[in-house]
Structure 1
Amino acid sequence: MSAPEPRSAALQIPETVHSRRWAILTVLLFSLVVVVLDNSILNVAMKTIAQPPPTGLGSTQSQLQWAINAYTLVFAGLLFTSGLVGDRLGRKKTLIFGMLVFGAGSLLSALADSSGELIAFRALMGFGAAFVMPSTLAIIANVFDRDERPKAIGIWTGTVGFGIALGPIVGGLLLQHFWWGSVFLVNVPIVAIGVIAMAALVPDSKDPLPGRLDPVGVLLSIIGLVLVAYGIIKGGQLADFTAPESWMTIVTGVVVLGGWVLHEHRSDHPAFDIAYFRDRRFSASVVAIGFVFFGLVGVTFFSVFYTQSVRGYSPLQSGLLMLPLAAAQIIFAPRARLVVARFGARAVCAAGLALDAVAFLGFLLLGTATPIWVLEVVFFLMGMAMAHVMPPATVMIMSALPREKAGSASAVNNTFRQVGGALGVAVLGSLLSTVYHSGIDSHLAAVPGLSEHLQQTAGQSVEATLTVAQQLGSAGRALVQPANDAFVHAMHVTATASAGVAALGAVVALVFLPSRTSQEPPAHEQERVSVRSEG
């Protein structure tokens, strides 16, 4: 990496902002944790919400899936647009707006009286979160000098991984002592404190020369991203990406995004300059991030079923088992810049993705009675791998664009992260379900008196099989071990596929990423950045 540069006038960072940059980062991480945490905290509350009132809402499996997917769909669809809004209107304003909407959605979700209300309020939370994520990274790019920015971004990426791992732990603790709505209500005081701190500490910044609005480009990006995300989610729900409702929606979304690219290329005032993707460090970095989250989110999704359904751990214990993943993020992500400085971004990202593949193959060591410390080692390796891919890739994305376009750069980063994660859950979840069903089907058919309807229901997942087995009493006990064995086999197949994707990402990093991170945009571009202190 290049040598540190003195903080010059060209960077346009006032001393009042520079002196409190670490306090600003702390506030930004506060908002980041609550958004990322809530994206994973709901998973452990599924069983409780599915129970009849007053314990839960009596939600069906489909309603529970949409309670998760409504958030993801709106979040992914609006990320790019929210980045543009931040660049134009000001990132601080956008951040506070997003936090307030997210807080309101959290309160309403906690008080929801029906599954339909919960789905709608989760969508509102996704709307708010979409304006928070890009703003945090864009503000970091505008309050830290070039030499300190990799460290700040490393802390930011470590916090993302920490939040993903922390969600199940916090959810398990809350459900152990309070009602299901507490997993949402806990966000409200955090949001209130965060907004007050943002108003007092965080400076505002925006693109001083945003140009004319491009409503057609904005609309096409929203429609295209929503269609792609919906198709991915639907394919995962149906466990069949050949279903017309899945592949036709994805293809339509890709076509719309293709039209968006063509429109942006021809427009004299594009919402986003497509030429940025000609920069290899930019395009390869966003692909690397997509690969990382494809595996991370997909694997953590099925590992919860392994620890709870197969191994019998409680939701809280299952969450605590993910602590090594969070610990590795906290330890290595802020220090990744030092490894990059010595070996170069290409080598570090490729090695990180290769280690990710090795960690996924570690799941092949897990059986129905394997010592649980083996899983802990696998999680630690996953966290270490991610911590050496996300920081350098994010730094390259943010440095590839002028800093006045930081909101757009952050939005692209988060869009690929979110779509990669959604694709990981959908594809790996579908593969897991298909392999499991083929493994348990013959055992279900051998159970005397089990109707065809119950066979189909029980074959959907290991949890469904164990539920039916419990209902059958003594006749169902013979299903428990085959169900566990079928799931472990399906997990092995899915983990192998994950390893293959990570290995492909390592090849992409080796071929397309530069060996060293390039310089930032020239000073004459940086001089256009406007950062002003408020309050």
Structure 2
Amino acid sequence: MTTPSVPVSRIPEAVHRRRWAILGVLMLSLLIVVLDNSILNVAIKTISTPAPTGLGATQSELEWAINAYTLVFAGLLFTAGLLGDRIGRKKVLLGGLVVFGIGSALAAESGSPTQLIAYRALMALGAAFVMPATLAVLMNVFEREEQPKAIGIWAGGVGLAIAIGPITGGVLLDHFWWGSVFLINVPIVLLAVVLMVWLVPDSRDPKPGRLDPVGVVLSVVGLVLLVYGIIEGGELADFTAPKVLSTIIAGVVVLAGFVWFEKRSDHPSIDVTYFKNKVFSAAIAAIALVFFALMGVTFFSVFYTQSVRGYSPLQTGLLMLPLAAAQMIFAPRARLVVDRFGNKVTTGVGLLLLAGTLAAFAGFEADTPIWLLEVVFFLMGAGMAHVMTPTSVVIMQALPREKAGSASALSNTFRQVGGALGIAVLGSVLSTAYRNGIEGKLGSVPAALRDTAGESIEATLGVAAKLGPPGRALVTPANDAFLHAMHVTALCGAGVAIIGAVVAFLFLPGKPPVAQQGEEQPELAVVGE
């Protein structure tokens, strides 16, 4: 008599038993990386305030403080994933956390916007080795049938960080100096390192890919040139200036050279053959467009709540709670919606909901009831949760388990590139629209200060404060110009989200077929041809 074969787990029993504790440690590591950006969101107004309160950073310097992190992070993610595959994900995680902690301590003591930008880049160097390794370890400690649930909880951790970050930042800014928003990372890093040494197993790819230094350099240089040109165009309010056009064109050319090199390399950073699969490409595009729209709107919403509405950093953090609450509520449950309706409907409707919430900002004025903002933030979080979870599952299951680091790096690279371009493009739209709206109202400002006063609402209000009683006449025009600029920017963000929805409806798969009992799922995922 033959005994029915029972599938044998490839995960050691000791690891399998503590898999949920391991997920908790991974989420703590993820929390640090996401927390830093969400804390910074409520601190950007304070950092733009002149010393000693802040650093007196201009809007373009603020954009670079955010994008220095994002670009280094995105540019190194794939190499970090490959290094994790080669030398061990646990080692890479620990090293990344230590570098991130050192960068955080240095950023807290920055004496100028330039130093802050440099130390933010160092923090990104560490974060680039943390993010892909967390998902890669997750994929190696959970069996395939539990992976969607684990990824949903992992995505919910992003919502937790979004919730904790602004509130923590607000409390710190109410009681300490601006650098405390970075110093808070250090004790969390120490806790994460101790728990990781104790709980997390090491894993690696038995056949790791070779590193691609040429590809890394080309991608980072191309992205920096492109983003620099876009930010410079917004600062000058002139995208036809020779300096702006030449930089943008140079960035596009270098990025085209990167794609050409990767197609011909036998060890590319990004294997472009993955993108022949329309479903995989659509999932990547959807997640990039979500972060393009979301990072842009987060940038201007802080100035809306603090500069126009007069809320403190802590109050601003509390106002963003509904966005985070929706993320935590819906991200772990989004897989159930996918099971019922499929990736196409879940992701497409999520993107349409996100577009609607972005468009709602175009109707906000200085006296709009604040509960409307809360409703919009909650719906925005719900829409984002129903995009992140299904697209993450599609992307992660598109490659074999041993290539988990590469899949994670791809997902996070395009997420970060989307976010960087969102801040650059939508930040430049905001800057250009604001300058065009305020320039005609600066007649009472001394000629030497007019250019500075036109950079942003904070710059205008700063100059107004220096002028004393005559400067009070600038407050209402500054608010009006900012609100108009926010309306224009919000509609641009909504348009981007709609493009993402169209991509999802056209290319993502519908409702998955019900697997027969005992039928083994293919190892190479369900993304289709």
User: Normalized against structure 1, the TM-score is what?
Assistant: 0.89
Alpha-carbon offset, residue 166 of structure 1: 3.2
**Contact 1:69-1:233 within 8 A present in 2 as well:** no
Partner of 2:116: 118
Partner of 1:458: 453
- What is the aligned-residue RMSD (CA, Å)? 2.6
Task: Please tell me whether residue 501 in structure 1 is matched to residue 496 in structure 2.
Answer: yes
Partner of 1:377: 375
Alpha-carbon offset, residue 163 of structure 1: 2.1
Partner of 2:507: 512
Alpha-carbon offset, residue 102 of structure 1: 0.5
Partner of 1:266: 264
Q: What SS is found at the alignment partner of 2:178?
A: coil
Deviations, residues 20-73 of structure 1 (Å, cap 9, x unaligned): 111111101101111111123234334555666665556666655544333223
Alpha-carbon offset, residue 96 of structure 1: 0.9
Partner of 1:8: 7
In the alignment, the residues of structure 2 paired with residue 302 and residue 413 of structure 1 have an alpha-carbon distance, to the nearest angstrom, of 25
In the alignment, the residues of structure 2 paired with residue 57 and residue 439 of structure 1 have an alpha-carbon distance, to the nearest angstrom, of 26
In the alignment, the residues of structure 2 paired with residue 271 and residue 47 of structure 1 have an alpha-carbon distance, to the nearest angstrom, of 37
Task: Please tell me whether residue 490 in structure 1 is matched to residue 485 in structure 2.
Answer: yes
**Contact 2:71-2:417 within 8 A present in 1 as well:** no
Alpha-carbon offset, residue 176 of structure 1: 1.5
In the alignment, the residues of structure 1 paired with residue 521 and residue 78 of structure 2 have an alpha-carbon distance, to the nearest angstrom, of 22
The share of aligned pairs that are identical, in percent, is: 67
Partner of 1:128: 126
In the alignment, the residues of structure 1 paired with residue 84 and residue 417 of structure 2 have an alpha-carbon distance, to the nearest angstrom, of 21
In the alignment, the residues of structure 2 paired with residue 279 and residue 163 of structure 1 have an alpha-carbon distance, to the nearest angstrom, of 32
Alignment match of 1:440 (pick from 438, 441, 448): 438
Partner of 1:203: 201
Counterparts in 2 of 1:235 and 1:43: CA distance versus 1, 3 Å: farther
Q: What SS is found at the alignment partner of 2:129?
A: helix
Mean alpha-carbon deviation: is it higher for 59-68 or for 200-209? 59-68
- The one-letter code sitting in structure 2 at the alignment partner of 1:321 is L
- The one-letter code sitting in structure 2 at the alignment partner of 1:31 is S
**Contact 1:150-1:337 within 8 A present in 2 as well:** yes
Counterparts in 2 of 1:245 and 1:39: CA distance versus 1, 3 Å: farther
User: Normalized against structure 2, the TM-score is what?
Assistant: 0.90
- Aligned positions, number: 516
Partner of 2:343: 345
In the alignment, the residues of structure 1 paired with residue 315 and residue 193 of structure 2 have an alpha-carbon distance, to the nearest angstrom, of 32
In the alignment, the residues of structure 1 paired with residue 432 and residue 227 of structure 2 have an alpha-carbon distance, to the nearest angstrom, of 21
Alignment match of 1:306 (pick from 304, 307, 324): 304
**Contact 1:235-1:426 within 8 A present in 2 as well:** no
Task: Please tell me whether residue 480 in structure 1 is matched to residue 475 in structure 2.
Answer: yes
Question: Mind listing any 5+ residue stretches in structure 1 that lack a counterpart?
Answer: 1-5, 527-535
In the alignment, the residues of structure 2 paired with residue 280 and residue 300 of structure 1 have an alpha-carbon distance, to the nearest angstrom, of 30
- The one-letter code sitting in structure 1 at the alignment partner of 2:361 is F
- The one-letter code sitting in structure 1 at the alignment partner of 2:7 is S
In the alignment, the residues of structure 2 paired with residue 63 and residue 294 of structure 1 have an alpha-carbon distance, to the nearest angstrom, of 19
In the alignment, the residues of structure 2 paired with residue 454 and residue 324 of structure 1 have an alpha-carbon distance, to the nearest angstrom, of 40
Partner of 1:29: 27
Counterparts in 2 of 1:272 and 1:42: CA distance versus 1, 3 Å: closer
Partner of 1:394: 392
- The one-letter code sitting in structure 2 at the alignment partner of 1:425 is I
In the alignment, the residues of structure 2 paired with residue 12 and residue 369 of structure 1 have an alpha-carbon distance, to the nearest angstrom, of 59
Task: Please tell me whether residue 291 in structure 1 is matched to residue 286 in structure 2.
Answer: no
Alpha-carbon offset, residue 368 of structure 1: 1.1
Alignment match of 1:324 (pick from 322, 325, 330): 322
Task: Please tell me whether residue 146 in structure 1 is matched to residue 144 in structure 2.
Answer: yes
In the alignment, the residues of structure 2 paired with residue 488 and residue 264 of structure 1 have an alpha-carbon distance, to the nearest angstrom, of 44
Counterparts in 2 of 1:269 and 1:357: CA distance versus 1, 3 Å: closer
- The one-letter code sitting in structure 1 at the alignment partner of 2:158 is V
In the alignment, the residues of structure 2 paired with residue 299 and residue 461 of structure 1 have an alpha-carbon distance, to the nearest angstrom, of 16
Alpha-carbon offset, residue 137 of structure 1: 1.3
Q: What SS is found at the alignment partner of 1:387?
A: helix
Q: What SS is found at the alignment partner of 2:203?
A: strand
- The one-letter code sitting in structure 1 at the alignment partner of 2:79 is T
Alignment match of 1:422 (pick from 412, 420, 423): 420
- The one-letter code sitting in structure 2 at the alignment partner of 1:122 is R
Alpha-carbon offset, residue 354 of structure 1: 0.5
Q: What SS is found at the alignment partner of 2:310?
A: coil
Partner of 1:103: 101
Alignment match of 1:187 (pick from 185, 188, 198): 185
Mean alpha-carbon deviation: is it higher for 166-175 or for 321-330? 166-175
In the alignment, the residues of structure 1 paired with residue 56 and residue 477 of structure 2 have an alpha-carbon distance, to the nearest angstrom, of 29
Alignment match of 2:365 (pick from 361, 364, 367): 367
**Contact 1:232-1:422 within 8 A present in 2 as well:** no
In the alignment, the residues of structure 2 paired with residue 189 and residue 159 of structure 1 have an alpha-carbon distance, to the nearest angstrom, of 19
- The one-letter code sitting in structure 1 at the alignment partner of 2:365 is G
Alpha-carbon offset, residue 317 of structure 1: 0.6
Counterparts in 2 of 1:229 and 1:15: CA distance versus 1, 3 Å: farther
Deviations, residues 327-378 of structure 1 (Å, cap 9, x unaligned): 0000001000000000000011000001111111211332111110010011
**Contact 1:223-1:253 within 8 A present in 2 as well:** yes
Partner of 1:530: none
Partner of 1:357: 355
Q: What SS is found at the alignment partner of 1:291?
A: helix
In the alignment, the residues of structure 2 paired with residue 215 and residue 56 of structure 1 have an alpha-carbon distance, to the nearest angstrom, of 37
**Contact 1:79-1:415 within 8 A present in 2 as well:** yes
